[in-house]
């Protein structure tokens, strides 16, 4: 499998547009660019989920891609007279890296998380219903995992630039395989006041990368725009311009399969994986953070905490920096 050949094909399949008549129009919504960077460096660790990079664009034209019909929008009530449903279609490039708890162990580190690199393109739809305080996110993910993504070279290069020790053991990483996932994420407002919100959510993921189901809740406190009105900032002139709030989100997840620990579904030739009996079937996680925004620009910093994901594993934490631009 040559990822250099197939990645352009995946991107083309996602962004290929249907032919439409000149009279066909798309409801005008805000456009967004979001960049998120996650690294356990912010938590003074270097293990497990060690880095994630996310580049996202939300543009109305993405509604016309070939795969957009597989994404699920919210449906309005009959005889609806309230606020309209807003559908934000997006494309993202995402890359993740995973390591065992020590990168100084030569050879296979039995009983520990294997090295793994994952990269994929995601086509998503975030559908908002401000009147019913509902938010439905659907995602189709296509990509790869394995040595062809050069995860070893990436981590070694970062460590070299920072003057850190060089990692050992990447030669035993999860082997090359394909990534195909379909994810659903439904959120419902439970308490919504001017300065305080509580939201409940359910999440389901199915495919070759992750198979799991989660329930959780989120809290926001401070000066902010209503969560179900937009994606964080907006071009509208009659809304709050300055935002500053804290947030917390927690969930419990039931795990059926995790390819970053158990290997790919198609290629079963990885030299080392975690056996199914050693996978933690219930995993808890929590996020705490601060968000600041002014007009069309927003910044966010958060810390994540996660319970052990496999037998004899330990808890883990990482930090996240996010930038959100509305244009």
Averaged pLDDT score across all residues of the chain: 90
For the chain, how long is the longest CA-to-CA vector? 66
DSSP lists the bridge partners of residue 198 as: 191, 219
Pairing state between β 116-129 and 86-99: antiparallel
Residues 312-325 pLDDT 10s: 999 999 999 999 99
Contact in structure between 254 and 212 (CB atoms under 8 Å): yes
Task: Name the token pair of 264.
Answer: 């790919």
Residues 267-298 pLDDT 10s: 999 999 999 999 999 999 999 999 999 999 99
User: How do the domains of the chain map onto residue ranges?
Assistant: 32-74+81-326
d(CA 210, CA 123): 16
Q: Indicate the burial class of 194 (C-beta count within 10 angstroms; 0-12, 13-18, 19 or more).
A: exposed
Q: Looking at domain 32-74+81-326, which of 3.40.50.1240, 3.40.50.720, 2.40.128.140, 2.30.42.10 is its CATH number?
A: 2.40.128.140
Residues 141-150 pLDDT 10s: 999 999 999 9
Helix (H) or strand (E) holding 245: strand 242-258
Within 8 A by CB and 6+ apart from 187, the residues are 134, 135, 136, 137, 199, 200, 201, 218
Residues 83-101 pLDDT 10s: 789 999 999 999 999 999 9
Instruction: Please give the model's pTM, rounded to 2 decimal places.
Output: 0.90
């Amino acid at each position: 499998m040559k990822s250099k050949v197939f990645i352009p094909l995946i991107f083309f399949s996602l962004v290929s547009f249907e032919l439409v008549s000149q009279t066909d129009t798309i409801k005008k919504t805000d456009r967004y660019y979001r960049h998120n960077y996650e690294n356990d460096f912010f938590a003074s660790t270097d293990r497990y989920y060690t880095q994630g990079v996310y580049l996202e664009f939300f543009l109305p034209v993405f509604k016309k891609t070939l795969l957009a019909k597989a994404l699920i929008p919210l449906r309005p009530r009959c005889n609806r007279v309230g606020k309209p449903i807003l559908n934000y279609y997006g494309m993202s490039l995402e890359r993740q890296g995973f390591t065992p708890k020590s990168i100084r162990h030569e050879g296979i580190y039995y009983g520990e998380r294997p090295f793994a690199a994952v990269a994929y393109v995601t086509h998503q739809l975030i559908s908002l219903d401000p009147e019913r305080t509902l938010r439905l996110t659907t995602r189709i993910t296509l990509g790869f995992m394995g040595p062809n993504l050069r995860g070893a070279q990436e981590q070694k290069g970062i460590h070299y630039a920072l003057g850190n020790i060089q990692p050992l053991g990447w030669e035993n990483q999860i082997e090359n395989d394909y990534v195909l996932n379909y994810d659903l994420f439904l959120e419902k407002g439970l308490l919504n006041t001017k300065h305080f919100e509580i939201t409940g959510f359910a999440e389901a993921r199915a495919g070759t990368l992750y198979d799991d189901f989660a329930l959780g809740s989120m809290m926001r406190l401070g000066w902010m725009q209503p969560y179900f009105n937009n994606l964080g900032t907006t071009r509208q002139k009659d809304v709050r311009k300055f935002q500053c709030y804290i947030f917390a989100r927690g969930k419990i997840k039931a795990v059926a399969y995790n390819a970053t620990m158990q290997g790919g579904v198609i290629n079963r030739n990885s030299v080392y994986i975690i056996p199914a009996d050693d996978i933690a079937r219930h995993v808890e996680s929590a996020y705490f953070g601060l968000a600041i925004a002014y007009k069309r620009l927003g910044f966010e910093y958060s810390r994540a905490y996660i319970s052990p994901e496999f037998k004899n594993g330990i808890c883990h934490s990482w930090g996240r920096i996010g930038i959100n631009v509305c244009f």
